[in-house]
Amino acid sequence: MSSVYESLVEIVGGEHVSTQAEELYIYSFDLGTTEPHRPDYAVAPRTTEEIQAIVRLANREKVPVAPLGGGLSLAGLALPLKGGISLDLKRMDTILEVNEKSRYTVVECGVSQGQLTSYLERHHPTLMHSEPGAPPMATIAGNMAIHGQGDLAHPYGFNSDMVNGMEVVLPTGEICRFGSCSVSTQWYTNHPLPDVGLFLGWAGTTGIITKVSLKLFPNKSIVGSGQFVVEDENLIPEIIHKITHTEMVHDLVAYSQAIPPFSSGLHHLTINLSADSEKELAFKMELIFDDTLGPYIRSGDGGYLGFNRGSQRPQVSKTSDWRKGGGFEYVGSIMPVETYPDCYRRGREISEKHGIPYTVLGRVIGMSHAMMFSWTYAFNRADPETMDQAREALHETDDLVLELDGTIWKPGTYGQKLVMERIDPNTLNLMKKVKQLLDPNGIMNPGNWEVS
């Protein structure tokens, strides 16, 4: 161990390697219900070349490497499940380029969502990226590694669909580029070369993304959020279909929660609009709230709760206040929009069975091509019993997702196992081959997606 430590110090400098118990403690857990796993080393590189040297060392010494962005993915995905190096990427925090005309940015892997948002607000106010509802320290690259979605999911899709190119350190240490940046100095497209990108959705098990080019989108000067409510969950898919048909909304989320009690059982739609003038806003509001939702209001099936200037989203993290000790974790899934009523009813049953106030949420992805549906479970961090309850509820929900013919999003080890048991055997075999080819010594984030 001492020779690994000395080599790490040589690569990144003594200040950026730690084996101190109190520092490793911080790296041993995330905000969710996963049991703590302590790394042997916490290492914070500054450059791609340093990462390359660390990965080469890890191969020689057969030491696991667990990439860590903001550590906010919750399901234990960034924890060093088998010890080794916790590779903290937050020092790789340079925004390298913003191209206004081709609407993209190139960032290092430790650039956080909040950092990019405030940078664009200050220097390029007509541009925005699709920011997840995660706390702002979540990183762009960590979000790519798990196929995240942000507030432009409707209409533009998954954040990983917005990748224009990447630089990656392979598990064997080679530095590779994908997309137009592999043949030119420009990072404006991921296409049209043969697709060899095997890093999105792999949760850091096939390599370390060091740079990402990300699509940017028009940012309008007026933003606001309308709230609409219905009692009957069966109406939600049809309403989503009608709203997305207008092509006027830039984030669309349906949610229901037990707290506050007066709104329990109701289904809220948060409908975000943006505009560059009062005239544009008035036009969009009329189309959405009068023409599209008016019939529901007039029939008594729905109610308009008003429109607030300034962007507003349901904050899942608020559910952590629902139990003393403040903890929560959610199962995310990618589901067809028409499953909303079943997802709500069955999720509510699971929550009630475990004595947890229910919170469910569906965010529309693309033109209603899918939704990210989440079931959130609050627990008290200081009370192992409530953590066990939440863990059981999470596992039952993973089972439910597959029963409803959905796909678990960013599953932890329990959900990964379910997926690997169910997935087409030839697909699993291909995943095995990919993993063996890229990571022959199995050093990359072991414990996650153990296909072989």
Ligand X SMILES: Cc1cc2nc3c(=O)[nH]c(=O)nc-3n(C[C@H](O)[C@H](O)[C@H](O)COP(=O)(O)OP(=O)(O)OC[C@H]3O[C@@H](n4cnc5c(N)ncnc54)[C@H](O)[C@@H]3O)c2cc1C
The least distance separating ligand X from the CB of residue 170, rounded to whole angstroms, comes to: 11
* Residue of 372, 371, 136, 117 whose CA lies nearest to 223: 117
Q: Which is nearer to ligand X, 296 or 322 (CB)?
A: 322
Looking at 208, 239, 252, 400, which residue binds ligand X (CB under 6 A)? 208
Phi, psi (degrees; rounded to nearest 5) at 76: 80, 10
Q: Does 76 bind ligand X (CB under 6 A)?
A: no
DSSP for 102-134, please give it: TTEEEEETT-BHHHHHHHHHHH-TTEE----SS
Residue 203 contacts ligand X per CB under 6 A: yes
Q: Which residues contact 396 (CB under 8 A, 6 or more apart)?
A: 350
Give the Cβ contact number of residue 385 at 10 Å: 9
Interaction mask 89-128, ligand X, x per CB under 6 A: x-------------------x-------------------
Token pair 């010594």 in the structure block, residue: 441
Q: Which of 119, 86, 78 is nearest to 412 (CA)?
A: 78
Site string for ligand X, 354-383 (x = CB under 6 A): ------------------------------
410 close to 146: Cβ distance less than 8 angstroms: yes
* Residue 42 or 78 having the CB closest to ligand X: 78
Residue 405 near residue 372 (C-beta atoms within 8 A): no
Tell me, what amino acid is at 88?
Answer: D
Select from 12, 24, 68, 239 the one that contacts ligand X (CB under 6 A). 68
Q: What is the dihedral of CA 56, 62, 63, 64, to 10 degrees?
A: 90
Eight-state DSSP code of residue 73: S
Shortest Cβ distance from residue 340 to ligand X (Å)?
A: 17
Residue whose CB is less far from ligand X, 339 or 448: 448
Considering the complex, state which of residue 374 and residue 389 has its C-beta at the smaller distance from ligand X: 374
Contact of 141 with 95, CB cutoff 8 Å = no
Is 170 a residue that touches ligand X (CB under 6 A)? Answer: no
Task: Tell whether residue 141 is a contact of ligand X (CB under 6 A).
Answer: yes
Q: Which is nearer to ligand X, 4 or 169 (CB)?
A: 169
Buried b (16+ CB within 10 A) or exposed e, 111-128: bbbebbeeebeeebeebb
> Cα-flanking dihedrals φ and ψ of residue 436, to 5°?
-65, -40
Q: How far is the CB of 301 from ligand X (least distance, A)?
A: 28
Q: Looking at residue 222, what DSSP letter applies?
A: E
Sole window of 40-48, 144-152, 222-230, 254-262 interacting with ligand X (rule: CB under 6 A): 144-152
Asked if 139 interacts with ligand X (CB under 6 A), we say yes
User: Can you tell me which of 8, 445, 446, 447 binds ligand X, judged by CB under 6 A?
Assistant: 445
| Smallest gap from residue 140 Cβ to ligand X (A) | 8
* Closest to ligand X by CB, 73 or 351: 73
Q: Which stretch binds ligand X (CB under 6 A): 16-24, 64-72, 249-257, 277-285?
A: 64-72
Residues β-bridged to residue 107: 95, 212
Residue 335 CB, nearest approach to ligand X (Å): 15
Q: Which of residues 308-347 bind ligand X (CB under 6 A)?
A: 316-317
Site of interaction with ligand X (CB under 6 A): 66-74, 77-78, 89, 109, 132-135, 138-139, 141-143, 145-146, 148-150, 203-204, 208-209, 316-317, 445
